[in-house]
């Protein structure tokens, strides 16, 4: 990854069709996520050739540029050129697109991924703090009722308990609606009085709003309900803006938005969002319950491909909800062990075998990122996709290691990306053998992917310096041979 982020930013913006073509920009752990006015202005092939760009994923007017672990620095430089506030470059309406099942599905996926990606650091941070508290208990450093443990668990729970508010803020940017109103409406769902009412409703007490019964729902740790509520709020805000007189907009507009959006959310959208989230979670874990270890193996093989398309974020709400309800997650997270660590092992094999100096450096850095931090995009786009066969090695590794993880019943207490440093999230304090299993699976992932990559081989990328030297030697040889071709006719002429 080039450290010249200013030059990188200029090149990327130019190939995106210029600053005027970009209407929104966000970033996740490794990707710059652009939304453009005109997809024809995106030069994806040229983007891939920019030094520092590891890969490009384009889907219509949306384009993801993978730049690796230093994405935050690149994002700041690009933002300077776009003069955005993180949501839109101007108020120009987006071009209308004919709604088809494919377009609807793409928009839903984009809304979910675009909303959740900025929240991942807070979720990972909180879950790792809770994991630290669990380890302190496991090693008998503190008792369960000690204030240190209580405070650590509270710190770790903060991101999860107030997840609806975080989702509202992120979704407000995505849907271009008023953030403070979205946060205020979401705040109702975690207000102590509302939580108390929902608890009473769960015990059988009648709770209603204007005579309409309110269903008992717990919204802490949830994503889908507030995501839908904020999307609906964006339309309510536009409608209210169109009917309120200018002189009353300062007070009447926000009041009407809250009075319309909040009841709709509480009475209809909230329960519907819970049903949708529960249905998705039930489907995923029904498959797991039916196929057992095979489901984890299949997920392990598919995981690198899901990351390639960005669809891996679809599972984020399911993982959060499952960990909140049961304390662990035993399908998606264990499947990532072989996939993530395997990508790191494959990159190390490439670094070992390649003669290309630049590829060797890229492979070592990408491999370290996957192994140590669990961030696999640099490995995927910088090495595996380019060379193809090492990617096949990681898919095989993901299947085998995923199957073993499923067989052993490995489960995660956190949703941090599996890596050598986050392996503790898979330790079961009641099962000492879980540590042996996790360390064994990670070691197997590295060794298996390394060996498979060497066995399958890959077409090495020639060194640019070697190419230049070969071309130079060839030119010199051609120059030496040229006189021999011309001297014979001249000598013959002189003799004659």
Q: What angle do CA 309, 421, 438 make, to 5 degrees?
A: 85
CB atoms within 10 A of CB 361: 12
Contacts of 314 (CB under 8 A, 6+ apart): 109, 112, 113, 306
* 28: annotated active-site residue: yes
Strands 22-27 and 31-36, by their bridges, are antiparallel
3-state helix, strand, coil split of the chain in percent (to 5) is 70, 5, 25
Q: DSSP states of 44-106 as a string?
A: HHHHHTSTT--EEEEETTEEEEE--TTHHHHHHHHHHHHT--SS-SS-PPPPP----HHHHHH
Cα(430)–Cα(413) distance, rounded to whole angstroms? 13
Which of 1, 9, 22, 28 is catalytic? The answer is: 28
- Helix (H), strand (E) at residue 451: helix 433-456
**Do 11 and 67 touch, CB atoms closer than 8 A?**
no
Cα(34)–Cα(13) distance, rounded to whole angstroms? 10
Task: Residue 161: name the closest of 134, 127, 201 by CA.
Answer: 127
State the Cα torsion 335-338-339-343 to the nearest 10°.
Answer: 170
Q: Where are the beta strands (DSSP E) in 172-300?
A: 208-209, 212-213
β-bridge mates for residue 58, sequence order: 63
- Sign of the alpha-carbon dihedral angle for 137, 141, 144, 149: negative
Q: How far apart are the first and last CA of the chain?
A: 67
State the Cα torsion 439-440-443-448 to the nearest 10°.
Answer: -150
Q: DSSP states of 344-368 as a string?
A: HHHHHHHHHH---HHHHHHHHHHHH
Contacts of 64 (CB under 8 A, 6+ apart): 31, 32, 33, 34, 56, 57, 58, 310
Query: What is the separation of C-alpha 264 from the centre of its chain, rounded to a whole number of angstroms?
Result: 31
Q: Which residues are catalytic?
A: 28
């Amino acid at each position: 990854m080039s450290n010249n982020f200013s030059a990188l930013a200029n090149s990327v913006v130019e190939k995106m069709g210029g600053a005027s073509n970009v209407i929104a920009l966000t970033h996740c752990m490794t990707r710059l996520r652009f939304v453009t006015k005109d997809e024809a202005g995106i030069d994806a092939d040229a983007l891939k050739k920019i030094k520092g760009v590891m890969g490009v994923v384009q889907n219509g007017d949306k384009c993801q540029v993978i730049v690796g672990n230093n994405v935050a620095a690149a994002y700041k430089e690009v933002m300077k050129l776009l003069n955005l506030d993180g949501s839109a470059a101007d108020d120009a309406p987006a071009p209308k697109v004919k709604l088809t099942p494919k377009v609807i599905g793409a928009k839903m996926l984009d809304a979910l991924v675009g909303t959740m990606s900025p929240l991942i650091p807070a979720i990972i941070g909180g879950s790792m703090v809770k994991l630290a508290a669990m380890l302190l208990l496991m090693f008998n450093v503190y008792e369960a009722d000690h204030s240190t443990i209580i405070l650590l668990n509270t710190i770790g729970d903060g991101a999860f308990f107030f997840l609806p508010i975080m989702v509202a803020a992120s979704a407000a940017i995505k849907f271009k609606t008023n953030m403070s109103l979205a946060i205020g409406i979401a705040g109702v769902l975690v207000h102590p009085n509302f939580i108390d009412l929902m608890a009473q409703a769960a015990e059988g007490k009648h709770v209603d709003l204007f005579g309409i019964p309110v269903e008992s729902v717990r919204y802490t740790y949830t994503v889908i309900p507030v995501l839908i509520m904020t999307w609906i709020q964006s339309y309510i805000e536009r409608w209210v803006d169109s009917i309120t007189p200018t002189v009353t907009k300062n007070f009447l507009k926000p009041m009407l938005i809250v009075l319309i959006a909040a009841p709709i959310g509480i009475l209809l959208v909230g329960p519907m969002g819970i049903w949708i989230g529960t249905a998705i979670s039930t489907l995923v874990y029904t498959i797991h319950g039916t196929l057992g270890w095979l489901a984890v193996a299949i997920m392990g093989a598919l995981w690198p491909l899901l990351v390639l398309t960005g669809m891996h974020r679809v599972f984020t709400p399911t993982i959060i909800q499952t960990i909140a309800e049961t304390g662990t997650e035993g399908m998606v997270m264990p499947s990532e062990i072989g996939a993530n660590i395997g990508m790191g092992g494959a990159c190390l094999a490439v670094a070992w075998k390649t003669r290309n100096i630049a590829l060797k450096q890229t492979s070592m850095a990408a491999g370290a990122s996957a192994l140590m931090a669990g961030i696999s995009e640099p490995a995927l786009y910088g090495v595996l996709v380019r060379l193809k066969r090492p990617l096949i090695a990681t898919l095989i590794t993901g299947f085998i290691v995923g199957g073993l993880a499923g067989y052993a019943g490995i489960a995660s207490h956190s949703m941090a990306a599996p890596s050598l440093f986050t392996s503790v999230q898979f330790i079961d304090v009641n099962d000492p053998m879980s540590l042996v299993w996790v360390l064994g699976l990670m070691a197997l992932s590295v060794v298996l992917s390394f060996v498979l990559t060497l066995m399958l081989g890959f077409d090495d990328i020639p060194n640019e310096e070697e190419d230049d030297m070969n071309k130079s030697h060839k030119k010199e040889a051609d120059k030496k041979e040229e006189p021999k071709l011309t001297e014979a006719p001249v000598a013959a002429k002189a003799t004659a």
